[in-house]
Copies of this chain bind each other. A is one copy, B any other.
């Protein structure tokens, strides 16, 4: 089976070159989208009376049969046919004969691959949103189950102020919610049909790209054929938001790695997600979290690949664009996998017990400042006095209490009370803070957002109608 254009040349293409340029190894997952695009194209050609009714029926039936073959894993792509498009046209010819030659009327591989990738990306974004939502659900469950538990809050990895564990978990929830909103915006840009831009200039046939777009459940079609065939910006944008997700997962992973060290000892990972050593019998390692952290490196690198491939290209279609596909698919799979694993990780977080929150701790020094302010001190004056007490006490809480009481004229008992982490979190009251009331409000809001996400996903179900 030679390539369709082989007749233009007197010499045959070198086999190694064919292997190098062929994209069939990446195209497998595009098959259903390519078929859907072809069916929509044929229906439009018929509607516009560019092909005959009888031919259209045959073409569509043939394509549907190929789709069934694909679903039964009976469709094999051949490298020598270059890509998914030529493979399907060829298979169609084997099924319905010469009429298959009408399929490529008023289109080209340039607008076809652009269409396949957009349809695929649309579905990918939906899977992404679903998977993010699953991590959110696991986080929310954890946050709900642990209401009331107080842990140190850190800045610069040093004690900052006591916080509720649920508040900490919710901080991850809200970041992921933003990821969903970002993907929602990207979807608007993805959901555009480029079919009908043909090679780069449109066509003299009376096609109706708006109609094709409708058949493909796309909300709009392209503005400019030349821009449409070369546009891969939505892939780069999708990959950017994939990177953002992996950054969020990496921060969660880093938190777990630190908090599960023997030294921090705030959480323990369930054994089913921990690993051991081949020589050190006592080991229990958070390898899964380390790998999640590392995946961010891959995501950033893959994003760079795509951006750098695009850098400096002239307008219109250039074959460089093909290289983007495999990077994009790789990162798509990796992001989904990370999210699935993150669910397991979150589910396996166990919190160690401790009476830490009931004992006086310097981590609450700021509470003394705030109390002094309420007593009439200006903030900076109160801060300044207590800072000196910290220095003089050299880490001894009792000395600190005595010094503070003297300096500020506050009863020792009060200071002692306020230095208890439990008191600190309870005293908070500002919106979005770690206070119990706010945390509970946030739990409810999180629940609401989850439901909103579900509605959104439901609405996207229409996209499956193209098959």
Contact = CB atoms under 8 A, between A and B. Distances in A.
B160 A202 contact: no
A442 interface: yes
A283 B154 CA distance: 10
A214 interface: no
Nearest to A380: B101
A387 B5 contact: yes
Contacts of A270: 11
A14 B431 contact: no
Contacts of A362: 282
A196 B17 contact: no
A281 interface: yes
A453 to B, nearest CB: 15
A223 B174 contact: yes
Contacts of A174: 223-224, 227
A308 interface: yes
Nearest to A348: B14
B226 A322 contact: no
B225 A314 contact: no
A155 B313 contact: no
A156 B380 contact: no
Interface stretch (A60-68, A69-77, A124-132, A296-304): A296-304
A108 B189 CA distance: 39
A280 to B, nearest CB: 5
A251 B313 CA distance: 6
A324 B435 CA distance: 31
Interface in A315-345: 315-324, 327, 337, 340-341, 344
Contact of A306 (B98, B204, B301): B301
A355 interface: no
A109 to B, nearest CB: 5
Interface in A351-385: 362-363, 365-370, 373-374, 378-381, 383-384
Contacts of A337: 20
A290 B162 CA distance: 22
A427 interface: yes
A316 B154 contact: yes
A342 to B, nearest CB: 11
**10 residue pairs, one from A and one from B, having the closest CB atoms:** A202-B433, A5-B276, A301-B305, A101-B380, A297-B309, A101-B378, A297-B308, A290-B319, A294-B320, A294-B323
A47 interface: no
Contacts of A109: 277-279
Nearest to A248: B233
A441 to B, nearest CB: 10
A4 B279 CA distance: 9
Interface stretch (A30-38, A114-122, A237-245, A456-464): A237-245
A285 B156 contact: yes
Interface string A204-233: 111111100000000001111111110101
Contacts of A102: 378-380
18 contacts: A9-B272, A11-B270, A108-B277, A156-B317, A156-B318, A158-B284, A160-B199, A160-B316, A167-B226, A168-B226, A196-B430, A203-B370, A205-B429, A282-B365, A294-B309, A294-B320, A296-B312, A311-B312
Given A9-B271, A286-B156, A366-B281, A344 B17 contact: yes
Contacts of A384: 4, 7
Contact of A301 (B3, B106, B287, B327): B327
A379 B41 CA distance: 14
B181 A223 contact: no
A416 to B, nearest CB: 16
Contact of A254 (B100, B226, B313): B313
A34 B112 CA distance: 46
A136 interface: no
Contacts of A156: 257, 283, 285-287, 290, 317-319
